[in-house]
Structure 1
Amino acid sequence: MTHSPEVLPAPVVATTAPATDPPRPALPSLTGTRWWAAFAVFVLHALVFLPVYPFQKSELFRRLHQWMPMQLGAAGVTFFFVLSGFIIYWSFRPGMPVGLFYRRRVLKIYPTHLVAAAVFVVAAGVPLHRLVVWLPNVLLVHAWVPKWSTVGGLNVPSWSLVSEMLFYLSFPLLLPLVRRVPTRRLLLAATLLVLFVLAVHAAFYLWVPGPKGIANAFAPRLVPGDSSPHYELHASQAWFAQPDIPVSPSYWLGYTFPLSRLPEFYLGVLTARLVLEKQWRNTRLAPPLLALIVAYAATWVVPVDFKMSALLIAPMAALVATLAARDLQGISGLNAHPRMVWFGNISYAFYLIQFPVMVLITRFLIGGGQFGFLGWIGFALLALVLSTVAAAALYHWVDVPVMNRFAGRTRASPPGAESVTLDPPARALSGEIRR
Structure 2
Amino acid sequence: MTRPPEVVPGTREDSTALAVESFPTELIQPVHATRTAAPAETVESVIERAARQRPPLPSLTGARWWAAFAVFLLHALVFLPVYPFQKSEMFRNIHAWVPMQLGAAGVTFFFVLSGFIIYWSFRPGMAKSAFYRRRVLKIYPTHLLAAAAFIVVASVPLHRAIVWVPNLLLVHTYVPNWTTVGGLNVPSWSLAAEMLFYLSFPLVLPLIMKIPTHRLVLAAAVLLLGIAALHTSYFLFFDGPKGIANAFAPRLVPGTTSPYYELHASPAWFQQANIPVSLSYWLSYTFPLSRLPEFFLGVLAARMVLEGKWRNTNLTWPLLALTVAYAATWVVPVNYKMSVLMLAPMTAVVATMANRDLHGIGKVNSHPRMVWLGNISFAFYLIQFPVMVVITRHLIGGKEFGVVGWAGFSVLSLVVSTVLAAALYHWVDLPIMKNFARSKKKAVKVAA
TM-score of the two chains, using structure 1 as the length reference: 0.89
CA distance in 2: counterparts of 1:225 and 1:89, whole angstroms: 52
User: Of 389, 397, 400, which aligns to 1:367?
Assistant: 397
Partner secondary structure for residue 228 of structure 2: helix
- The answer on 1:355 being equivalent to 2:385 is yes
> What does 1:164-203 correspond to in 2, within 5 Å?
164-203=194-233
Deviations 1:40-59 (A, max 9, x none): 00000000000000000111
1:106 is the counterpart of 2:136: yes
Q: Which amino acid aligns with 1:170?
A: S
Task: For 1:218-233, list aligned pairs within 5 A.
Answer: 218-233=248-263
- Give the Cα separation in 1 of the matches to 2:3 and 2:115: 19
Aligned counterpart, 1:342: 372
- Cα drift, residue 227 of structure 1: 0.5
Structure 2 partner of 1:87: 117
8 Å contact 1:96–1:411 — kept in the other structure?
no
Q: In the alignment, is residue 255 of structure 1 matched against residue 285 of structure 2?
A: yes
Amino acid at match of 1:328: L
Q: Which residue of 2 aligns with 1:154?
A: 184
Q: Give aligned pairs, total.
A: 400
Shift of 1:218: 2.5
Q: For residues 28-75 of structure 1, what are the alpha-carbon distances to aligned partners after superposition, in whole Å with 9 as ceiling and x for unaligned?
A: 000000000000000000000000000001111111111001000000
CA distance in 1, matches of 2:198, 2:304: 21
- For residues 275-294 of structure 1, the aligned pairs below 5 Å read 275-294=305-324
Partner of 1:212: 242
Deviations 1:352-397 (A, max 9, x none): 0000000000001000010000000000000000000000000000
1:312 counterpart SS class? helix
Specify the alignment match of 1:426 in structure 2.
none
2:381 is aligned with what amino acid? Y
Q: Cα offset for 1:95? A: 3.3
CA distance in 1, matches of 2:316, 2:439: 40
Looking at structure 2, the residues matched to 187 and 357 of structure 1 have their Cα atoms a distance apart, in angstroms, of 43
Question: Equivalents in 1 of 2:88, 2:220: separation in Å?
Answer: 44
Q: Tell me, in whole angstroms, the C-alpha distance in 2 between the residues paired with 1:121 and 1:189.
A: 44
Tell me, yes or no, if the aligned pair for 1:11 and 1:176 is still in contact at 8 Å. no
Shift of 1:11: 12
Match of residue 107, structure 2, among 77, 80, 87: 77
Question: Which segments of structure 1 move beyond 3 Å, counting only runs of 4 or more?
Answer: 8-12, 18-23, 409-412
Which amino acid is the alignment partner of residue 437 of structure 2? A
Q: Distance in 2 between matches of 1:356 and 1:33?
A: 24
Query: 2: CA distance between counterparts of 1:410 and 1:337?
Result: 34
2:98 maps to 1:68:
yes
2:435 corresponds to 1:378:
no
Larger mean Cα displacement after TM superposition, 401-410 or 118-127: 401-410
CA distance in 1 between counterparts of 2:297 and 2:266 reads 38
Percent identity reads 72
Given that 2:2 and 2:119 are in contact with CA atoms closer than 8 Å, whether structure 1 keeps it comes out as no
**Alpha carbons of structure 1 residues 167 and 10: separation in structure 2 relative to 1, 3 Å:** closer
In proportion to residue count, which structure has more helix? 2
Aligned-partner Cα distance in 2 for 1:116–1:67: 30
CA distance in 2, matches of 1:156, 1:116: 11
What amino acid maps onto 2:172 in structure 1?
Answer: H
Per the TM alignment, residue 22 of structure 1 is displaced from its structure 2 partner at its CA by 7.2
Equivalent residues of 2:146, 2:382 under 8 A apart? yes
Work out the CA distance in 1 between the residues paired with 2:154 and 2:248.
23
TM-score by length of 2: 0.87
The 5 Å alignment of 1:107-146 reads: 107-146=137-176
Distance of 1:94 and 1:52 partners within structure 2:
52
Question: Alignment RMSD, CA only?
Answer: 1.9
Equivalent residue letter for 2:86: Q
Decide whether the 8 Å contact of 1:201 with 1:305 is kept in 2: yes
Which gives a bigger RCO, structure 1 or 2 (Cα 8 Å, sep 6+)?
1
Q: CA deviation at 1:217?
A: 3.5
* 1:392 paired residue number: 422
Distance 1:23 1:401, change over 3 A: farther
**SS of residue paired to 2:340:** coil
State how far apart, in whole Å, the 2-side matches of 1:316 and 1:205 are: 23
Task: For residues 254-287 of structure 1, give each alpha carbon's deviation from its aligned partner in whole angstroms, at most 9, with x where no partner exists.
Answer: 0000000000000000000000001100000101
String of CA shifts for 1:320-359, please: whole Å, max 9, x gaps. Answer: 0000000000002100000000000000000000000000
Among 302, 305, 308, the alignment partner of 2:335 is: 305
* Aligned-partner SS, 1:77: helix
CA distance in structure 2 between the aligned counterparts of 1:334 and 1:226, rounded to whole angstroms: 43
Query: Partner residue of 1:52?
Result: 82
Gap runs ≥5 in structure 2? 13-50, 443-448
Tell me, yes or no, if structure 1 residue 36 matches structure 2 residue 58.
no
CA distance in 1, matches of 2:168, 2:439: 28
Question: What is the CA–CA distance in structure 1 between the aligned matches of 2:395 and 2:358, rounded to whole Å?
Answer: 47
Q: Is the 8 A contact 1:19 1:95 kept in 2?
A: no
Contact 1:19 1:410 in 2 (8 A): no
Structure 1: distance between partners of 2:199 and 2:11: 22
Residue 315 (1) aligns with residue 315 (2): no
Report the Cα offset of residue 149 of structure 1: 1.6
CA distance in 2: counterparts of 1:410 and 1:264, whole angstroms: 34
Residue 200 of structure 1 aligns to a residue whose secondary structure is helix
